[in-house]
Amino acid sequence: MSEFVLHGSSTGRHIAYVLRSNPVTALAATGTLLLVLVAILAPVLAPYDPVASNVPQALQPPSWSHLAGTDQLGRDILSRIIWAARLDLMIAVSAVSLSFAMGAVIGGFCGYRGGRLDRWVGRLLGSFRRRPRRLEPQLRLGV
């Protein structure tokens, strides 16, 4: 048990070192953590029901009662953004989980079987990462 605690504190020290030494990483981690917290706490943070219409309040500019204003149906935009963070996070986690699971199954099967199938799948997937050298500068510039 003490080995696990030592390993955990070592990992914590390493994470702290990385965040202190690289401010961009710290900023990205803070933004990600903030997005996750907003998504989890959406029912508490949203000031209004995101789907409730209030037509007399339609297209209101930002004010103290509606910090981001209202849309064409009078729905509070800030509440809709907060609830959308929850949906977006669920979609992202689902997509990453599904692609990880598919990659693990395909990689495990090809690694177990080996031979032609392993080479064919490896080359197929490797071709997705390759780009012609002449196109590289244009792709980087967005031309």
74-96 tens-digit pLDDT: 999 999 999 999 999 999 999 99
Instruction: Say how many C-beta atoms besides its own lie within 10 A of residue 76's C-beta.
Output: 24
Nearest-angstrom CA–CA distance, 39 and 45: 9
Around 6, how many Cα atoms within 13 Å sit in the side-chain half-sphere? Answer: 3
CB 82 within 8 A of CB 42: yes
Per-residue burial over 43-75, b if 16 or more Cβ lie within 10 Å, else e, is eeebebebeeeeeebeebeeeeebebebeeebb
91-129 tens-digit pLDDT: 999 999 999 999 999 999 999 998 999 999 888 888 777
11-42 tens-digit pLDDT: 889 999 999 999 999 999 999 999 999 999 99
- Global pTM reads 0.69
Assigned token pair, 113: 């079987």
Is pLDDT of 138 > 70? no
